Amino acid sequence: MAKIELSNVTKQFPDGTKAINAANLTINDGEFFILVGPSGCGKSTLLHMIVGIKEVTSGEIRLDDVIINDIDPRDRNMAMVFQSYALYPHMSVRENIAFPLVMHKIPRQEIAKRVEETAALLELSGVLDSKPRELSGGQRQRVAMGRAIVRNPAVFLLDEPLSNLDTRLRDQMRTEIARLQKQLRTTTIYVTHDQTEAMTLGDRIAVLKEGIIQQIGTPYELYEQPQNAFIAGFIGSPAMNFFPVQIRNNRLFIPLLNLETDPPQENNLDNCPDYVIAGIRPEHFSLLSDTADTTEQNKKQIIFDIVIEIVEWLGASLLVHFQLENRYWPHMPGLTRNLNPSKKQDNRLLDFTARLDTNHVIKEGNKVRLTVDLDKLYMFDPQTGNRLTTV
C-alpha cells in the first residue's frame, strides 16, 4: 500500500531558479501516475525529490501519511528505473537483478527464488546467465525493471525509461509496462516528455510547464477539457491548430475566413476580450462535398475553403497541411507564449493540419472544403491562455 501526497513542494537552486514551484498533488495507492511536459519543465526534478535523490527546498512529501523529506532514499521503499539502463556490464542478468537483494543481505535461497520469479514475469528466464552486452535494448530495459521489481517496493519510479529505444521497441515496451503495472498493482510514477506515452499509460496525468503543474486529470479530461492553451497544444498529435478570432456583439468573427458566426454552446462571451485564441484539433476536420447544401450547416459548422499544400499518408489516415492568410495577429501579444512552444507561428501565414480518413482521394494543390462542428471549437484568453467556458 502506498499513497503519496505533495504539499507546496518547491525546489529552488542557489541562483534563485525554481525548478518546481509549489507543487500539490496526490497519487493514490496502485495508481499509474504520469508526469509529462517539455524538456526542462521540472518533471524529473519532481521525481527525484520523491525518491530522495534531490532535497526539497520547502513543502512536504508524505508516503502513507508519513513525512519522508528527511528519510534516506534507501529507507523509502521505492525503486527507480532510469533512462540509461545502469546495468553492471561485468555481471550476468541474474546477478544484476539480484544485486539490490544482495545489498540488503537477503538470504541466498530467497534471492534465488525472487530472481527466478521476476525473470519469468519479464520473460528473461532464458537469458539469466547472459551479460548485458549480449542483450537487445528491450531486454536490457526489462533487466533494469527486474532489478526494481525484485525488491517488491511500495512505489516504482520510472524516469523516461523508453527514450533510448527505437520506435518499434518503444511501442512494445510501453505495452509491456502497462501490462506489468496492472498485474503488480504497485503505485507507479512515470516521467516522460512524450504525450503519446502519457495518454496511453496513465490513469491520471500531471502536465508541467516551467516548474508549475498546469493541470491534473485523466487522459480524457486533458484531451477534451484542457484548462489552458498550453495543455490544448501539448496534448494531442498532431497539435491543435490555433488562430485569432474577434468578438463582435457576442458573436465570433473569424478574420481568416471572413466569417461571422455564433459562439460554441458552452462559451459565454460577455466578459471576453475583443480578440481570443481559437483552437481546432486536426481530427475534428471533415471533408465536405462540393455538392453539399451548406445553408443549414453554416449555422452549426465552420467551413474552410482551402488549397492543399502537403498530404502525408499514414496508412489509416491522411494528414493534410494548408495555410491561411494571417490577420489581426499583432493584436494578440500573449498568443505565442501560451501555445505549444515547439510550433512557431508565421507573421503572415498560419499553418493548419487536418487529419482525414483514407477514403478521400485528394492531392497536393487540390481546392477542397473542410468543415468543423462549431461545438468542437476551443477558445482561450490571449493574455492568460486560460480556456474560456461558461461559468
pLDDT of 215 reads: 97
pLDDT of 284 reads: 96
Question: What does pTM read for this prediction?
Answer: 0.87
Cα separation, 38 vs 50, in Å, equals: 20
Claim to verify: residue 73 and residue 89 sit in the same structural domain = yes
- CA torsion, ordered 188, 191, 196, 197, to nearest 10 deg: -40
Cα separation, 168 vs 172, in Å, equals: 6
pLDDT of 180 reads: 87
What distance lies between CA 105 and its chain's CA centroid? 39
pLDDT of 299 reads: 62
CATH number, domain of 350, equals 2.40.50.140
Q: Is residue 389 part of a domain?
A: no
- The parts of the chain modelled with pLDDT lower than 70 are 1, 265-271, 290-299, 327-348, 390-391
Claim to verify: residue 172 and residue 282 sit in the same structural domain = no
CA angle 79, 80, 81 (to 5 degrees): 130
pLDDT of 1 reads: 65
- Per-residue burial over 57-91, b if 16 or more Cβ lie within 10 Å, else e, is eebebebeeeebeeeeeeebebbbbebebebeeee
Query: Could you give phi then psi for residue 112, rounded to 5 degrees?
Result: -60, -40
pLDDT of 220 reads: 96
pLDDT of 341 reads: 41
Structure letter (DSSP) for residue 350: E
Is 360 within 8 Å of 204 (Cβ atoms)?
Answer: no
Mean pLDDT of the chain: 87
Closest listed residue to residue 317, CA positions, set 358, 372, 277, 367: 358
CA angle 329, 249, 260 (to 5 degrees): 60
Of 197, 212, 230, which residue is a domain's last?
230
pLDDT of 250 reads: 77
Of 176, 209, 230, which residue is a domain's last?
230
Claim to verify: residue 241 and residue 206 sit in the same structural domain = no
Residue type, 125: S
pLDDT of 246 reads: 86
Of 214, 230, 246, which residue is a domain's last?
230
Domain total in the chain: 2
pLDDT of 164 reads: 77
Q: Is residue 391 part of a domain?
A: no
Q: Is residue 330 part of a domain?
A: yes
Claim to verify: residue 199 and residue 172 sit in the same structural domain = yes
- CA torsion, ordered 219, 199, 204, 214, to nearest 10 deg: -80
pLDDT of 71 reads: 95
Cα separation, 260 vs 241, in Å, equals: 19
Q: What is the span of the domain harbouring residue 25?
A: 4-230
